[in-house]
Amino acid sequence: MNPRGTVMIVGVTGGVSAEAPLRVILGKRLRVMGTTLRSRTDQERDVLFARFAKDVVTRLKTGKVKSMVDKVLPMSEAQAAFTSMASNDTFGKTVLTW
């Protein structure tokens, strides 16, 4: 993480508790933010999705921002992908392809 960076936590799949290196967070003056879509109204979600498409998808397309992908597997290995995610030994997204 670069100094003054932001860690954004969107929902949870690996449990609701985590350890965090406070010395690093404080020393680099990081921001940790969390959110979820579950408790939002449909109108709030629509606004967020539109902003995401404008701000994030554009940056992904131009390569300014890159997503973290742990592994890419064919759909025939979906069970292995879910098992890997459930064991919480991934770093980044697991992508299934058709």
Q: What is the pLDDT of residues 7-49, one digit of tens each?
A: 888 877 777 888 889 999 999 999 999 888 888 899 999 999 9
State whether 1 and 31 are in the same domain: yes
What is the token pair recorded at 4?
């003054």
State whether 71 and 97 are in the same domain: yes
Tally of domains in the chain: 3
Yes or no: say if 92 and 68 are a contact pair by the CB < 8 Å rule: yes
Average pLDDT value for the chain: 89
Q: In whole angstroms, give the CA distance from residue 76 to residue 72.
A: 12
Closest CA to 65 of 10, 5, 14, 25: 5
What integer pLDDT is reported at residue 18 of this predicted model?
83
What integer pLDDT is reported at residue 22 of this predicted model?
94
State whether 53 and 80 are in the same domain: no
State whether 61 and 74 are in the same domain: no
Instruction: Name 72's bridge partners.
Output: 95
Going by pLDDT thresholds of 50, 70 and 90, the confidence category of residue 65 is confident
State whether 50 and 25 are in the same domain: no
What is the token pair recorded at 69?
């992908």
| Domain span including residue 1 | 1-35
